[in-house]
Amino acid sequence: MSTTAADVVVGTGPLSPAQVVAVARDGAPVVLGDDALAAIERSRAVVDALADDVQPHYGISTGFGALATRHIPPDRRAQLQRSLVRSHAASSGLPVEREVVRAMMLLRLSTLATGHTGVRPATARLLADLLTHGITPVVREHGSLGCSGDLAPLSHCALALMGEGEVETADGVVRPAAEALAAAGLTPVELGAKEGLALINGTDGMLGMLVMALADLTALLRVADVAAAMSVEALLGTDRVFAPELQALRPHPGQATSATNLAALLAGSGVVASHRGPDCNRVQDAYSLRCAPQVHGAARDTLAHASTVAERELAAAIDNPVVLPEDGRVESNGNFHGAPVAYVLDFLAIPVADVASMSERRTDRFLDKARNHGLPPFLADDPGVDSGLMIAQYTQAGVVAELKRLAVPASVDSIPSSAMQEDHVSMGWGAARKLRRAVDGLARVLAIEVMTAARGLELRRPLAPAPATGAVVELLREHGVGLPGPDRFLSPEIETAHRLVRTGEVLAAAQRHTALG
């Protein structure tokens, strides 16, 4: 086996979240490790030994789901696997994002590499080759109930291994799978006993979306602290409430991290210093300013719990039945149920909505002359002639309203399927899809707050912001965002702010002056 430093090597141990993101988003090539190939061969030997057994074995010599009572003769078993994949590749709707499909493929490969699924080495190698060549099956949005895993989405991936269905190539062109494989010098596989089931019976789609959401939210919660610090500063709030001795009275780790971030971001602020003296009659700030560490911190602690679940799932081998090579057995189980992942996907949507809601409230304070402490109404250049950022807050409010709807859990629902054999399902795929939308919504809300706070700080000149917040103001100024002045076409400015948040440029500007937890 020859690898490079850029390769992600799939072995018998768990992948890291960073490896999943590298393959899904950055197109990192994938290689199967020698230990994984050895484990795959051991489990395949068990399947081959049982294939000729007169006793029925689920997934090897029987039908599936409610049809598991039918024994399939040996001469029909190749057709059994083909039929399984073709019939289960039944998704509908718009294509799922390329990064989601790549994450799903990688995580299915990781389970194959554990040596508990019974696939052949050639089948696993081809899945790795598709990832390395950037060949991504077209998977449509609707079809998974999150139990038995993400059957329909994974079936579209398995279909591509058979040289059937549609794929998107590395250059973004959608082609028949057979053509794309041939162009890459790859040969489709004819699935053997149990292989079709092993390729589709996993929670890999919802887990992949969870891992990427965790990466996104880790960054966005830091951006939320940046946005809050800019708002506290420009609204003439105090930094005294972020003192560590006050935060220690309620010892939540996320709260302590957020308060430390806010204090560091405001360090050296000329704006804060301007009203720190004894003549300041401000007793305490509004909740959206004063309680930012409590809300952002609770979101961080929720994120930490979800990360723990993701780490456990990355170490799991999800299939049914599973191969136990040490005992020479193939056993049915319920590990494919998506509840553990579905719950945290739903859980994360709650703090996403709440952090965004608090951000919108801070933005609204800037626009009300009764609450913004001397700034013009709506931060407008000529109020009445100009509307300033009035409708930017409408946009925020619309997104926040949607985030509240997206916070309604999917995992409390269950619709029985497969003639009541699969009578309780997780709906984890749906929970993952709505969380992806929610994460993007949070980024848009924070972008508008950052843009608004930057204009507020510009209007406080000649008072100087803190070095960290000032760096964000300067970044936005370079891109024509947040500048005071007469009304202009605002949508492109909002989209630019959103891009600067999502690419990490806002966070990087602040972190050039202070490290953020």
- Tell me which DSSP letter residue 321 carries: S
| CA separation for the pair 237, 222 (Å, rounded) | 19
123's tokens: 């089948």
CB 219 within 8 A of CB 504: yes
> Active-site residues: which are they?
58
Name residue 246's amino acid.
L
Give the torsion through C-alpha atoms of 437, 438, 444, 446, to 10 deg: -160
**Partners of 175 in beta bridges:** 167
Q: How far is CA 82 from CA 46, 79, 199, 418, 460, in A?
A: 21, 5, 12, 19, 68
Q: In what order do the strands lie in the sheet with 174-176?
A: 136-137, 166-168, 174-176
| CA separation for the pair 192, 118 (Å, rounded) | 10
Per-residue exposure over 478-506, b if at least 16 CB sit within 10 Å of its own CB, e if not: eeebbebeeeeebeebbebbbebbbeeeb
Name residue 33's amino acid.
G
With tokens 């706070």, the residue in question is 453
214's tokens: 């965790």
